Amino acid sequence: MQALTANDAKTQFGDMLLKAQREPVQINKNGKPVAVVISIDEYQQMEEVKFALLQERAYRAKLDVESGNLAEGEQFMSDLIAGKLD
């Protein structure tokens, strides 16, 4: 992944957008990573994967409810948010 300073990203914005079409571009400010610029195609793929995972979790939760395998609601939500549900 290429990296640019925030100042370089600002002054070379058009070039940065072209680079982001090929690979993610990391933006650093004061030597620390603060953002990543990606192409719209890559972003949409990431969103599709996230949605598919959410659908799978919802389906498994439905099967659990139907089979009587229930969990305490607050703990379930905490685990879901933390990504601990498999």
* Comparison of pLDDT for 73 and 38, the residue scoring more: 38
Mean pLDDT across 32-40:
98
Q: Are residues 56 and 69 in the same domain?
A: yes
Domain with 47 in it = 42-82
Distance CA 10, CA 84 (A): 38
Q: Are residues 75 and 49 in the same domain?
A: yes
Q: Do residues 1 and 24 touch, judged by C-beta distance below 8 A?
A: yes
Strand partners for 58: none
Mean pLDDT across 35-45:
97
How many structural domains compose the chain? 2
Give pLDDT tens digits for 56-79.
Answer: 888 888 888 788 877 666 777 787
- pTM as predicted: 0.66
Q: Are residues 14 and 28 in the same domain?
A: yes
12: confidence class by pLDDT, cuts 50, 70, 90: very high
Q: For residue 16, what is the domain's CATH number?
A: 3.40.1620
Mean pLDDT across 27-43:
97
Q: Are residues 73 and 50 in the same domain?
A: yes
